């Protein structure tokens, strides 16, 4: 029987990672992470908050219980066995309330979605490990997309085509962090929006989208359309439920992205 793939359990402010996938940043963390069944990680800044050890929860920060979202994270930690038993065939999504509050702070409202035709995208409550990307980072996807990606990846291999994932799931906090850093450098929101989608409006938040390349191809470049990998995707990706979201002259005004594919349905 094939072993179940590791799960990332998602909450509004904290991610719960399976043990063994995060790198330690200090000797104390290294000892804890080497034994951890799970690691609680702050979505806002990437801090490791606690290690779930066989003997109990080990705080990795001072005043752990004052961290925003801890009660929700502890409830989610206790629910992990239920996710494993259910096989995560049905995955809920996180509420959009917190995101809307943060968009309002940036001066963004529903008019952005109306103007671009892009919907707000909720994050999945559970993600599944779908392998590793080009940079050996864990590739997290919605469980349905994880299975579809693996099937498509192996089918391409049988045709002597190597597909490389560049990135998969990205949290709202990840996109908000991009805006925060650019605002700190003196750019305004309108200027940032010419290059980056507003937080909450990327298909990557759903865990159903991934950026794809091939060995020796630069990441996220239009030149990908001339590769054998792209030609294979154009012919076969639909068999696995994936579509290219942003073709030329798409109605959203997004630049042509031959590397960006999303699981539909």
pLDDT digits (tens, 9 = 90+) for 3-60: 578 999 999 999 999 999 998 877 878 999 999 999 999 999 999 999 999 999 999 9
Of 88, 102, 78, 81, nearest to 12 by C-alpha is: 102
Q: pLDDT for 234-250, tens place per residue?
A: 999 999 999 999 999 99
Of 135, 144, 160, 134, nearest to 231 by C-alpha is: 160
Tell me the two tokens of residue 161. 């085509």
Which of 3.40.190.10, 3.30.1380.10, 3.40.50.10210, 3.20.20.70 would CATH assign to domain 97-263? 3.30.1380.10
Helix (H) or strand (E) holding 174: helix 172-184
Residue 89 has a pLDDT of 66
pTM for this structure?
0.93
265: pLDDT strictly greater than 80: no
Give the Cα separation of 207 and 246 in Å (integer).
Answer: 17
Domain assignments of the chain as residue spans, ordered by start:
7-86, 97-263
Q: pLDDT for 191-235, tens place per residue?
A: 888 778 899 999 999 999 999 999 999 999 999 999 999 999 999
């Amino acid at each position: 029987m094939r072993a179940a793939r590791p799960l990332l359990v998602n909450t509004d402010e904290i991610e719960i990672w399976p043990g063994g996938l995060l790198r330690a940043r200090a000797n104390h963390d290294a000892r804890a992470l080497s034994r951890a069944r799970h690691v609680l990680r702050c979505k806002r800044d990437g801090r490791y908050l606690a290690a779930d050890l066989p003997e109990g929860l080990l705080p990795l920060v001072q005043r752990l219980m004052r961290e925003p979202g801890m009660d929700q994270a502890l409830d989610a930690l206790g629910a992990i066995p239920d996710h494993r038993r259910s096989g995560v065939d049905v995955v809920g999504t996180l509420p959009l309330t917190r995101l809307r509050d943060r968009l309002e702070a940036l001066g963004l409202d529903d008019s952005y979605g109306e103007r671009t035709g892009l919907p707000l995208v909720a994050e999945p409550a559970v993600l599944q490990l779908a392998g590793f990307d080009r940079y050996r980072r864990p590739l997290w996807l919605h469980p349905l997309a994880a299975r579809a990606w693996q099937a498509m990846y192996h089918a391409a291999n049988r045709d002597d085509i190597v597909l490389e994932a560049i990135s998969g799931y990205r949290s709202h906090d990840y996109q908000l962090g991009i805006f925060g850093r650019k605002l700190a450098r003196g750019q305004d929101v309108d200027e940032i929006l010419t290059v980056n989608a507003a937080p909450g409006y990327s298909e990557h938040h759903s865990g159903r989208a991934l950026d794809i390349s091939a060995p020796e191809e630069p990441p996220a470049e239009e030149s990908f359309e001339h590769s054998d990998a792209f030609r294979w995707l154009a012919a076969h990706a639909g068999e696995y439920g994936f579509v290219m979201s942003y073709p030329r002259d798409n109605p959203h005004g997004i630049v042509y992205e031959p590397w960006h594919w999303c699981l539909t349905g």
